[in-house]
């Protein structure tokens, strides 16, 4: 099984956001580790809880940046964050690992869950923040 590798595809170019995303990717790998070594459902649920908690603090960081720099798409981005947390909480409540298919879905869940948001929405936010930084009079 290959690990969730952090590569350039997921790099947003914003140091703070990327550091958080990497921490999340490490938690995703912990979940894969747990599933692969046959850990029980309670242990996996605990890693899912850690992922959700870490995602929440990460989203708070992005939300502070959006407010601070008056990001025009802040509302839409925040709505995506709320939706992602909702999806993760639903998954956390309903997941099972009684079959190989369910275990494989569990290992892939966090990556699939967050990757599109990073690729499309976070990259767009990071590009905006980089432009703001380059504009005289803003920081």
> Which residues contact Fe ion (rule: CB under 5 A)?
62, 122
What's the closest the beta carbon of residue 69 comes to Fe ion, in angstroms?
A: 14
CA distance 128 to 14: 10
By beta-carbon proximity to Fe ion, the closer residue of 7 and 98 is 7
Going by C-alpha positions, the residue among 59, 55, 123 that lies closest to residue 91 is 55
By beta-carbon proximity to Fe ion, the closer residue of 97 and 114 is 114
Residues 77, 61 contacting (CB under 8 angstroms): no
Neighbours of 57 (CB within 10 A): 10
Point out the residue whose Cβ comes nearest to Fe ion. 122
Two structure tokens written together for 65 = 């940046």
By beta-carbon proximity to Fe ion, the closer residue of 35 and 110 is 110
What's the closest the beta carbon of residue 129 comes to Fe ion, in angstroms?
A: 12
């Amino acid at each position: 099984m290959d690990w969730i590798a952090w590569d350039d595809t997921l790099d947003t170019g914003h140091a703070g956001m990327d550091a958080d995303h990497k921490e999340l990717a490490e938690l995703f790998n912990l979940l894969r580790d747990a599933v692969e070594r046959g850990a029980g459902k309670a242990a996996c649920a605990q890693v899912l809880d850690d992922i959700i908690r870490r995602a929440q603090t990460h989203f708070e960081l992005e939300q502070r940046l959006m407010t601070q720099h008056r990001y025009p798409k802040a509302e839409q981005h925040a709505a995506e964050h709320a939706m992602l947390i909702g999806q993760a909480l639903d998954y956390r409540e309903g997941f099972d690992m009684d079959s190989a298919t369910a275990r494989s879905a569990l290992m892939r869940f966090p990556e699939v869950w967050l990757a599109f948001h990073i690729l499309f929405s976070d990259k767009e936010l990071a590009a905006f923040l980089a432009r703001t930084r380059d504009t005289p009079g803003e920081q």
